[in-house]
Chain A
């Protein structure tokens, strides 16, 4: 379950931001998790709560914005929705499709005090 390491990564990013932006507590965290990013949102929630205990973000709310996967079909020269990395183009049946969106995992925004 690499969500544990990812949650630790989120905490590190928040701690760095806390010194730069001068805040003491994080009340809410907004994460972007792409549907092709190999991160399970429920596992992330579980790990987030565990990792944040005793930190500047203990008890913080977690908002996860899930972004849809998108691929580029070179044959049709167009973007197509992509639910899985092995999906074929819905128009021509061609694969592989280059992933153009939905594989990111990012800390977007913090609500702090």
Chain B
């Protein structure tokens, strides 16, 4: 029996010298040889976003195969994204089949508003997450019964920082800036304005009542992204909405014919 633990595994016997110099006999279980592997370096060189980008590429392929035009709408909280969507759905009035993915940390409120406007909507609650990622959208795409050649509007979590880094597989990011915010937001949150193809300057009906220099805001945004298209709109009053609707229809027909 092992002198240490009492087991009956393969035992080894030997002698050990005590400090007194007197040798004692021992029987101990055979210790496994030291198994710690050698420490080594592994070269990786991979983008941290690689996995998200893989999911995004898969989403993009799936959308392209079905001619679906997908837009990722991003902005600060309170810029009027959901109102814009509701008005867009109402104005399109069935001219284009469409569906909406709503991203929020909590509640189903926005999806309820969209459904009331007459469009199918799937709500994704991100919980502690501050943005939608491509995997979430991929799972949503599997659940939704999207029509071929339709429009998919993805309302991201209200946040001008994190959604900039996460490609969802959309055709374009559309950034919404409202005139009740600071006109220097493009400078404060440049990544989002760099990632977007179109900026909607919303709530323009309020310009007479607020200190907001629209030209300056646009010049700041183009300083980051000279190719950025800009439209001045008011989702509430309807001003400028036609240009936005035309832009959607144009993109949608291109996606459908590609």
**A residues within 8 Å of B by Cβ?**
1-2, 4-6, 9-10, 12-13, 17, 21, 23-24, 27, 31, 38, 84-86, 95-96, 104-113
B131-160, CB < 8 A from A: 131, 133
Q: Encode contact with A along B182-206: 1 for CB under 8 Å, 0 otherwise.
A: 0000110011001000000000000
**Contact status A13-B51, CB under 8 Å:** yes
Closest 9 pairs (CB-CB, A-B) = A2-B162, A85-B190, A107-B44, A105-B48, A110-B42, A38-B191, A113-B37, A9-B48, A113-B39
**Is A24's CB under 8 angstroms from B46's CB?**
no
24 A-B contacts, Cβ less than 8 Å apart? A1-B130, A2-B162, A4-B128, A5-B131, A6-B48, A9-B50, A9-B51, A10-B48, A12-B51, A13-B44, A13-B51, A24-B37, A38-B165, A84-B190, A86-B186, A86-B187, A96-B223, A107-B44, A107-B45, A110-B44, A111-B39, A112-B39, A112-B40, A113-B39
Rounded to whole angstroms, the CA-CA distance of A17 and B187 in the bound complex is: 38
Residues of chain A within 8 A (CB-CB) of B133 are: 5
Q: Which residue of B lies closest to A6 (CB)?
A: B48
CB distance from B188 to the nearest CB of A (A): 9
Q: Is the CB of A13 within 8 A of B46?
A: yes
Complex Cα–Cα for A86 and B224 (A): 5
Q: Which residues of A contact B78 (CB under 8 A)?
A: none
Quick one: which of B39, B42, B47, B129 contacts A5, CB cutoff 8 A? Answer: B129
The answer for the CA separation of A109 and B38 in the assembled complex, in Å, is 16
B226 to A2, Cβ gap below 8 A?
no
Residues of the B chain whose Cβ atoms lie less than 8 Å from the Cβ of A2: 130-131, 161-162, 165-166
State which residues 105-130 of B face A: CB under 8 Å: 128-130
- The reply to whether the CB of B43 lies closer than 8 angstroms to some CB of chain A is yes
Indicate if the CB atoms of B223 and A86 lie closer than 8 Å: yes
Partner of B48, one of A17, A86, A107: A107
Q: Say yes or no: is B220 at the interface (Cβ < 8 Å to chain A).
A: yes
> Is the pair B223, A105 in contact by a Cβ cutoff of 8 Å?
no
Give the contacting residue for A106; candidates B46, B52, B129, B190; CB below 8 A. B46
Q: B213-228: contact bitstring with A at CB < 8 Å (1 yes, 0 no)?
A: 0000000101111100
In the complex the two chains form, is B48's CB within 8 Å of A27's CB? no
B95 interface residue per 8 A CB criterion: no
Q: Does B258 make an interface contact (CB < 8 A)?
A: no
Most B C-beta atoms less than 10 A away, residue of A4, A5, A105: A5
Contact of A85 among B52, B131, B165, B191 (CB under 8 A): B191
Q: How far is the CB of B1 from chain A (nearest CB, A)?
A: 33
**Is B42's CB under 8 angstroms from A106's CB?**
no
Residues of B within 8 A of A23 (CB): 37, 40, 42
For A95, list chain B residues within 8 Å (CB). 223
Contact A105 B47 (CB under 8 A): yes
**Pairwise interchain contact B220-A106, C-beta atoms closer than 8 A:** no
Q: Given contacts A38-B165, A96-B226, is CB(A109)–CB(B191) below 8 Å?
A: no
Return B191 CB to nearest CB of chain A, in Å.
Answer: 5
Q: Please name all residues of chain A whose beta carbon is closer than 8 Å to the beta carbon of B128 when the two chains form the complex.
A: 4
In contact, A110 and B220 (Cβ under 8 angstroms): no
Digit string of B29-71 for contact with A (CB within 8 Å is 1, else 0)? 0000000111111111111111110000000000000000000
Q: How far is the CA of A15 from the CA of B128 in the complex (A)?
A: 23
